[in-house]
Amino acid sequence: MTVFHLRAAGVSLVLDTRGTAARILHWGPDLGDHLPAEDHFVPAVPPSSIDVPLRLSLLPSLEEGWTGRPALSAGPLRLIDAHASENTAFVRHSSPDSTQEVTTELGMSAEGVLRLRHRATNRGDAELTVPGLDMLLPIPDSAAELLDFTGLWSHERLPQRAPLRHGVWSRESRHGRPGHDDAFLMIAGEPGFGFRAGRVWAVHLAWSGDKRIWAERSALGYGVLGAGELLSPGEIRLAPGESYATPWLVAVFSDAGLDGLSDRLHPWIRAHSPARLPRPVVLNTWEAVYFDHDLGVLSDLVDAAASVGAERFVLDDGWFAGRRDDRRALGDWFVDAEVWPDGLHPLIARVEKAGMDFGLWVEPEMISPDSALAAAHPDWILDGGTGPTWRRQRALDLTKAHDYLLDRLSALLTEYPIAFLKWDHNRDLLTPHSGRQTRALYRLLTSLRARFPHVEIESCASGGARIDLGILELVDRFWTSDTNDPLDRQSIQRWTGVLIPPEYLGGHLGAATAHVTGRTSALGLRLATALFGSAGIEWNLTAASESERLDIAAWITEHKRLRPLLHTGRVVRADSPDPAHLLHGVVAQDRTHAVFALVTLGAPRAALPPPIRLPGLDPDRLYTVRPIGVPPRTLQDAPPPWLAAGSATLTGRVLAEVGLPAPLLTPEQALLIEVSPH
Ligand code: DGJ
Q: Encode pLDDT of 131-158 as tens digits.
A: 899 999 999 999 999 999 999 999 999 9
Report whether pLDDT(381) > 90.
yes
Contact 670, 598 (CB under 8 A): yes
Query: How far apart, in whole angstroms, are the C-alpha atoms of residue 209 and residue 226?
Result: 16
Does the beta carbon of 316 sit less than 6 angstroms from any atom of ligand 1?
Answer: yes
pLDDT tens-digit profile of 4-17? 999 999 999 999 99
What's the 406 CA to ligand 1 centre distance in angstroms? 21
Predicted pLDDT of residue 389: 97
Closest ligand 1 atom, CA of 460? 3
Report whether pLDDT(667) > 80.
yes
What's the 174 CA to ligand 1 centre distance in angstroms? 21
Query: How far apart, in whole angstroms, are the C-alpha atoms of residue 167 and residue 224?
Result: 11
- The kind and range of the H/E element at 570 are strand 570-573
What's the 319 CA to ligand 1 centre distance in angstroms? 13
Ligand 1, residues 283, 286, 292, 390: which to mutate, most atoms within 8 A of Cβ?
286
Closest ligand 1 atom, CA of 461? 3
What's the 179 CA to ligand 1 centre distance in angstroms? 15
> Residue 484 burial (CB < 10 Å; 0-12/13-18/19+)?
buried
Closest ligand 1 atom, CA of 361? 7
Smallest CA separation from ligand 1 atom 10, residue? 317
Query: β-pairing, 420-423 with 394-395?
Result: unpaired
Does the beta carbon of 460 sit less than 6 angstroms from any atom of ligand 1?
Answer: yes
Closest ligand 1 atom, CA of 326? 11
Kindly report the backbone phi and psi dihedral angles of residue 279, in degrees, each rounded to the nearest multiple of 5, phi listed first.
Answer: -70, 125
> Residue 41 burial (CB < 10 Å; 0-12/13-18/19+)?
middle
Report whether pLDDT(38) > 80.
no
Contact 45, 51 (CB under 8 A): yes
**Which CATH number, 3.40.50.620, 2.60.40.1180, 1.20.1560.10, 3.40.50.720, labels domain 572-677?**
2.60.40.1180
What's the 542 CA to ligand 1 centre distance in angstroms? 21
Ligand 1, residues 316, 320, 360: which to mutate, most atoms within 8 A of Cβ?
316
Predicted pLDDT of residue 7: 98
What's the 474 CA to ligand 1 centre distance in angstroms? 20
Sorted by sequence, the CB contacts under 8 Å of residue 368 that are 6+ apart come out as 327, 328, 329, 330, 331, 374, 392, 393, 394
Domain 3-272 matching CATH 4.10.110.10: the answer reads no
**In the predicted model, what is the mean pLDDT of residues 236-249?**
98
Query: How far apart, in whole angstroms, are the C-alpha atoms of residue 425 and residue 461?
Result: 4
Which has the closest alpha carbon to 565: 531, 526, 613, 615?
531
Query: How far apart, in whole angstroms, are the C-alpha atoms of residue 274 and residue 474?
Result: 11
Instruction: Tell me the residue type at 159.
Output: P
What is the Rg, in whole angstroms, of the alpha carbon atoms belonging to the chain?
26
Instruction: Tell me the residue type at 612.
Output: I
Helices (H), 204-344: 257-272, 286-289, 295-308
> Residue 158 burial (CB < 10 Å; 0-12/13-18/19+)?
middle
CB atoms closer than 10 angstroms to residue 321: 18
- Residue 37 banded pLDDT, cuts 50, 70, 90: confident
- Residue 577 banded pLDDT, cuts 50, 70, 90: confident
Mean pLDDT over all residues of the chain? 97
Greatest C-alpha distance within the chain: 83
Smallest CA separation from ligand 1 atom 6, residue? 286
pLDDT tens-digit profile of 462-501? 999 999 999 999 999 999 999 999 999 999 999 999 999 9
Does the beta carbon of 361 sit less than 6 angstroms from any atom of ligand 1?
Answer: yes
Report whether pLDDT(612) > 80.
yes
Contact 208, 182 (CB under 8 A): no
CB atoms closer than 10 angstroms to residue 149: 22
- The answer to whether the peptide bond before residue 278 is cis (omega within 30 degrees of 0) is yes
Smallest CA separation from ligand 1 atom 1, residue? 462
Closest ligand 1 atom, CA of 316? 7
Query: How far apart, in whole angstroms, are the C-alpha atoms of residue 304 and residue 544?
Result: 9
Which residues in the chain are classed under CATH 2.70.98.60? 3-272
Which residues in the chain are classed under CATH 2.60.40.1180? 572-677
Does the beta carbon of 94 sit less than 6 angstroms from any atom of ligand 1?
Answer: no
**In the predicted model, what is the mean pLDDT of residues 587-604?**
96
Sorted by sequence, the CB contacts under 8 Å of residue 518 that are 6+ apart come out as none
What's the 475 CA to ligand 1 centre distance in angstroms? 17
Ligand 1, residues 315, 368, 428, 462: which to mutate, most atoms within 8 A of Cβ?
462
Does the beta carbon of 426 sit less than 6 angstroms from any atom of ligand 1?
Answer: yes
Does the beta carbon of 476 sit less than 6 angstroms from any atom of ligand 1?
Answer: no
Nearest 10 degrees: Cα torsion 463, 466, 469, 472: -70
Sorted by sequence, the CB contacts under 8 Å of residue 554 that are 6+ apart come out as none
- Residue 39 banded pLDDT, cuts 50, 70, 90: confident
Predicted pLDDT of residue 657: 97
Overall fold of domain 282-567: TIM Barrel (3.20.20)
What's the 27 CA to ligand 1 centre distance in angstroms? 41
What's the 107 CA to ligand 1 centre distance in angstroms? 37
Helices (H), 336-419: 345-353, 372-376, 398-415
**Residues involved in catalysis:** 424, 482
Ligand 1, residues 314, 320, 460: which to mutate, most atoms within 8 A of Cβ?
460
Quote the pTM value. Answer: 0.98
Does the beta carbon of 532 sit less than 6 angstroms from any atom of ligand 1?
Answer: no
Does the beta carbon of 314 sit less than 6 angstroms from any atom of ligand 1?
Answer: no
Secondary structure of 319-337 as H, E, C letters: CECCCCCCCCCCCCCCECC
Query: How far apart, in whole angstroms, are the C-alpha atoms of residue 69 and residue 289?
Result: 50
Query: β-pairing, 167-173 with 581-587?
Result: unpaired
Smallest CA separation from ligand 1 atom 9, residue? 462
For 624-651, b/e burial (b = at least 16 CB within 10 A) is ebebbbbebeeeeeeebebbeeeebebb
- The kind and range of the H/E element at 449 are helix 434-451
**In the predicted model, what is the mean pLDDT of residues 55-63?**
92
